[in-house]
């Protein structure tokens, strides 16, 4: 059999035929892609409210989908292997997604094994071992496992995709404000960028800058810059423990409760002054110029913070770049609980506008000068 050569016309014809073929899936118990994505968002939100994980099977037939009708045919066949409560539909051009509802977390491992074996057996019986072997079966879990490369799986966020970031007029204006604001700030603050490094080098050993990996837009990792405010070679155990207690709500509340480490032995004398006025954050203006951060947005978390997130808390990093300042910083800082901080971030994301960003930027200097909640 000769090599198959694809030109633009034949490729487009294949895509068109496949779309026509998938148009009738709903009648056979399968949803078209747009409807399946809506179902996926609904189930993700249901999982967030209930505090339960969600399991999705993903079948990729891309390597055998030259036949425009293969995927719809596979979808119709697959229906017989699923429970009535499972939700199935098109996932991209060459894939099928199945939301395995009402599966308890402790049953995930068994469910994956049983369902995958059943689907694989069905494929082999229908298409033969060779063809069936080219179809891949995988599983995705929400909330994702924190602290690694798949800590944020955008499969579960079809309502907010990375491809949509940067296309709206408002987002373009936000980026222009970021670039202009960061550039002007760096020029105006140039003397401070000379004084602070000298103070750091003269009072403690170690580098001027502190660089740390953080999670940004849609879980993308980046290197965040700060002026070093701590002694070098510190053990982060004290902060890890505090973060876990904070997220778990294990800190006992009172009228003067502060949700931040107030007497951190790792912080230098100069570092305390830098933190009091948030001067240690100034190098993040370079992160803004690099496109990793914005002037306004949720604060970017450390990996061991994300490891303790529940599903709904992860949403604070979806759809917008993290910021140097944000709703939390101008609304209470460390006097708010972690859940309250997340709700402020989510409210900001839902109600975002250029005017809101400008308002937060104007309020930030006043909050910083008061030094309230800064440690």
Lowest mean pLDDT among 73-77, 104-108, 127-131, 305-309: 73-77
Q: Which whole-number Å values give the CA distances from 239 to 213, 302, 332, in the listed order? A: 15, 11, 21
Alpha helices in the chain (DSSP H): 8-22, 33-50, 70-78, 108-127, 129-132, 169-188, 192-203, 237-248, 269-276, 284-289, 303-306, 311-314, 338-350, 354-370
Given this model, what pLDDT does residue 25 score?
47
- Predicted local confidence at residue 200, as pLDDT: 96
Percent of the chain having pLDDT more than 70? 81
| Least confident piece of the model among 105-114, 157-166, 366-375 | 157-166
Highest mean pLDDT among 2-6, 114-118, 140-144, 371-375: 114-118
Does the bond joining 119 to the residue before it have cis omega, within 30 degrees of 0? no
The overall average pLDDT reported for the chain is 82
pLDDT at 249: 76
Q: Residue 346 pLDDT > 60, yes or no?
A: yes
Could you give the CA distance from residue 245 to residue 54 in angstroms, rounded to a whole number?
Answer: 25
Is a pLDDT exceeding 60 seen at residue 2?
A: no
Alpha-carbon gap, residue 137 to 115, rounded angstroms: 10
pTM, to two decimals: 0.78
- Please determine, for residue 197, whether its predicted confidence score (pLDDT) is greater than 90: yes
Are the CB atoms for 312 and 48 separated by under 8 Å? yes
The residue ranges of every structural domain in the chain are: 8-142, 162-370
Q: Could you report how far apart the first and last alpha carbons of the chain are, in Å?
A: 71
Residue 329: the pLDDT is 84
| More confident call, 222 vs 260 | 222
Two structure tokens written together for 325: 């300042």
Beta strand 221-227 with 136-142 is unpaired
pLDDT at 61: 82
Range 8-142 classified under CATH 3.30.1360.200: no
The string of DSSP codes covering 221-259 is EEEEEEE--B-SS--THHHHHHHHHHHHT-SPP-TT--S
* Residue 353 CA: distances (Å) to CA of 170, 293, 331, 348: 7, 17, 17, 9
Query: How does residue 257 score in pLDDT terms, banded at 50, 70 and 90?
Result: very low
What would the two tokens of residue 341 be? 């901080």
Residues contacting 369, CB < 8 A, separation 6+: 277
Inform me whether the pLDDT recorded for 261 exceeds 80: no
Q: According to the model, what pLDDT value does residue 113 have?
A: 93
Q: In the prediction, which pLDDT does 239 show?
A: 81
Among candidates 156, 112, 118, 157, which has minimal Cα distance to 138? 112
pLDDT tens digits, one per residue of 275-298: 988 999 999 999 999 999 999 999
Query: Given pLDDT bands bounded at 50, 70 and 90, which one contains residue 241?
Result: confident
- Is the distance from CB of 30 to CB of 89 less than 8 angstroms? yes
């Amino acid at each position: 059999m000769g090599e198959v050569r694809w030109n633009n016309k034949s490729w487009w014809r294949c895509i068109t035929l496949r779309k026509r073929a998938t148009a009738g899936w709903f009648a056979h118990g399968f949803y078209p892609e747009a409807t399946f994505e809506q179902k996926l968002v609904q189930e993700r939100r249901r999982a967030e409210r209930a505090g339960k994980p969600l399991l999705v099977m993903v079948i990729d037939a891309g390597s055998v989908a030259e036949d425009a009708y293969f995927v719809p045919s596979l979808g119709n066949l697959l229906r017989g292997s699923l429970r009535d409560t499972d939700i199935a539909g098109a996932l991209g051009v060459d894939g099928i997604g199945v939301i395995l509802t009402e599966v308890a977390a402790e049953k995930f491992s068994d469910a994956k094994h049983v369902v995958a074996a059943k689907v694989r057996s069905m494929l082999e019986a229908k298409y033969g071992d060779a063809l069936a072997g080219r179809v891949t079966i995988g599983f995705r879990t929400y909330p994702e496992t924190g602290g690694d490369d798949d800590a944020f799986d955008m499969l579960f966020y079809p309502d907010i995709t990375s491809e949509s970031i940067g296309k709206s007029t408002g987002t373009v204006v936000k980026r222009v404000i970021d670039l202009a604001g960061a550039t002007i700030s760096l020029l105006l603050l140039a003397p401070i960028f000379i004084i602070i490094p000298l103070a750091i080098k003269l009072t403690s050993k170690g580098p001027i800058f502190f660089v740390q990996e953080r999670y940004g837009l849609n879980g993308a990792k980046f290197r965040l810059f700060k002026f070093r405010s701590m002694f070098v070679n510190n053990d982060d155990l004290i902060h890890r423990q505090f973060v876990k207690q904070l997220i778990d709500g294990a800190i006992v509340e009172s009228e003067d409760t502060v949700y931040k480490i107030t007497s951190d032995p790792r912080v230098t004398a100069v570092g305390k002054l830098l933190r009091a006025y948030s001067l240690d954050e100034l190098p993040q203006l370079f992160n803004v110029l690099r496109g990793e951060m914005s002037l306004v947005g949720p604060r970017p978390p450390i990996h061991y913070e994300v490891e303790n997130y529940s599903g709904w808390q992860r949403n604070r990093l979806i759809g917008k770049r993290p910021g140097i300042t944000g709703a939390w910083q101008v609304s209470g800082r460390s006097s708010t609980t972690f859940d309250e901080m997340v709700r402020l971030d989510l409210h900001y994301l839902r109600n975002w506008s250029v005017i809101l960003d400008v308002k937060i930027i104007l309020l930030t200097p006043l909050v910083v000068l008061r030094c309230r909640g800064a440690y």
